[in-house]
A = this chain, B = another copy of it.
Amino acid sequence: MSHFTETEIAYMQEQKLGRLATVDAKGNPHVVPVGFRYNSELDTIDVGGYNMGKSKKFRDAGRHGRAAFVIDDVLLPSQPRGIEIRGRSEAIQQGGKEILQNENVDAEFIRITPTHIISWGIDTHPYHPSSRKISS
């Protein structure tokens, strides 16, 4: 069973970009736009891209072991909606092309296993987020 609601999954499946936050060896943050897939078999967020294997985010996600990821947009005129996923991060060496369904991205990808999900404007009012921690 997924830790996400059906509406959250539908939202993640229609969005193309998210922003990934990682932490470097000194403990400082980094944030970048990235392509991703919601992985329904594992209930994870899989993040891939061009030159992923040599990127700072890939090294940082693997070393630190924790990442945060946000997918969001604004429905006009002014209805924000989105979902933030915090969780364990792994730097995985193989499988990115198949998972992202894109021959041009690297084999390396980042897998985020959720431990905390916060969403707003998807199942709830834009300014009344749903926040839940996941025990695993």
Contact = CB atoms under 8 A, between A and B. Distances in A.
The size class of the interface chain A forms with chain B is 20 to 34
Interface stretch (A2-10, A36-44, A66-74, A92-100): A66-74
Nearest to A19: B19
Nearest to A60: B29
User: So how many copies of this chain end up in the complex?
Assistant: 2
Interface string A77-120: 00010101010000000000000000000000000000000000
Interface of A: 17, 19-23, 27-33, 50, 64, 66-70, 72, 74, 80, 82, 84, 86, 127
Closest 6 CB pairs of A and B: A21-B21, A21-B31, A21-B29, A29-B68, A19-B19, A31-B68
